[in-house]
Structure 1
């Protein structure tokens, strides 16, 4: 546990930041990349989900953190970045390389990496506002815990085909929530709450 605290602190510092009223807009290509990511995740299916019903699990996705209805823009960007970073990390392991079609996996990683790069400017601008950083920590911590539960699940299931299939479906669902958040961030009228 003592080793996790510095790791978590570094993760939060690298992947979150407030954006407040800064003029950081997501490019239109971000939406295209997000849709492409969902298509790739769908194409990665190797096992019928109906064969894996015994392996289903509730990972406790923090929906209130990503639905965007009460989020300031700074929090929304931070949550989106954390989501993308965690998905990238999950599918960038040696175990995931063994589980999935290599071509699709490389395309998925590339798309996630491009989306993360698009958010970097927003995060750099956001790191200046320390007041919002404390609020954002809760959201990124909730996402970190969610993905930690997914990793524990995979380990407990010995990275079986069904375990990866359950995780793939779960990631599609959570990523879909993040694409809704991206749409709100890109829209000019997308009020994400009071600053």
Structure 2
């Protein structure tokens, strides 16, 4: 349980850092939405991951790219955006509607959409038209491939309850790994000392 809570807290930090990070003004409302999303992800657990050990899989999260510290600001924001977009897409399928409590799922979708809107504004601030290729190369492409593997896994497992639980845990893990991207962006913005 403590591990799950630490993952949830990391997701809050990634998604809604202090004001000024990501070159954007993050309001108190964004912090509240982030906390709510974390509670929703925790509440969505329907079965214990211990019952699904046979369904575990290494999805090959591109951790070295995400934590390597070699990304430029625009790349880091693009990767974070891609993670949220792919998570939104994953939880916005017909099969996810059958797997999760409808009320919790709809609330999570709304929260992820709000996060994406915020990062869209950030992307607009740091990326011009010449940077539009970022989504088709490097770290952002690696993130797309990672999520494609998750989609294939779900399909191969017939969208079973254990497959969805495995994916829910994986998504939480991957989003928590992006904390280093958030720290890097804060340093770029000169905002490392903010709470």
Give the TM-score taking structure 2 as reference length. Answer: 0.76
2:23 counterpart residue number: 24
Consecutive aligned runs of 4 or more in structure 1 exceeding 4 Å deviation? 28-32, 131-136
Name the CA distance, whole Å, in 2 between partners of 1:114 and 1:106: 12
| CA 1:72–1:127: 2 relative to 1, 3 Å | closer
Q: Name which of structure 1's ranges 86-95 and 168-177 shifts more when overlaid on structure 2.
A: 168-177
Q: What do the CA deviations read for 1:134-156 (whole angstroms, capped 9, x no partner)? A: 59721111001000000000000
Q: Tell me the CA shift for residue 68 of structure 1.
A: 6.1
Offset at 1:58? 0.3
Change (3 A) 1:144 1:134: closer
Mapped contact 1:45–1:165 kept (Cα < 8 A): yes
Partner residue of 2:137? 137
Shift of the 118–158 alpha-carbon distance from structure 1 to 2, 3 Å rule, reads same
Question: Any residues of structure 2 matched to 1:1-195 within 5 Å, and which?
Answer: 24-29=23-28, 30-67=30-67, 69-128=69-128, 130=130, 133=133, 137-186=137-186, 188-189=189-190
Distance 1:186 1:32 in 2: 20
Secondary structure of 2:23 counterpart: coil
Alpha-carbon spacing, 1:72–1:102, altered in 2? closer, same or farther (3 Å): same
Please identify, of 154-163 and 34-43, the stretch whose mean Cα deviation from structure 2 is larger. 34-43
Give CA deviations for 1:83-136 in whole Å, capped at 9, x if unaligned.
000000000000000000111101110110000000112222333163694597
Listed one character per residue, the Cα deviations across residues 37-73 of structure 1 (whole Å, up to 9, x for unaligned) are: 2322111000111100000000000112322622221
Which blocks of at least 5 consecutive residues in structure 2 are unaligned? 1-21
Moved more, 24-33 or 38-47: 24-33
Deviations 1:2-22 (A, max 9, x none): xxxxxxxxxxxxxxxxxxxxx
What residue in structure 2 maps to residue 20 of structure 1? none
Question: For this pair of structures, how many residues does the alignment match?
Answer: 169
1: CA distance between counterparts of 2:135 and 2:70?
Answer: 12
- Structure 1 residues 28 and 182: alpha-carbon distance in aligned structure 2, compared to 1, 3 A threshold: farther
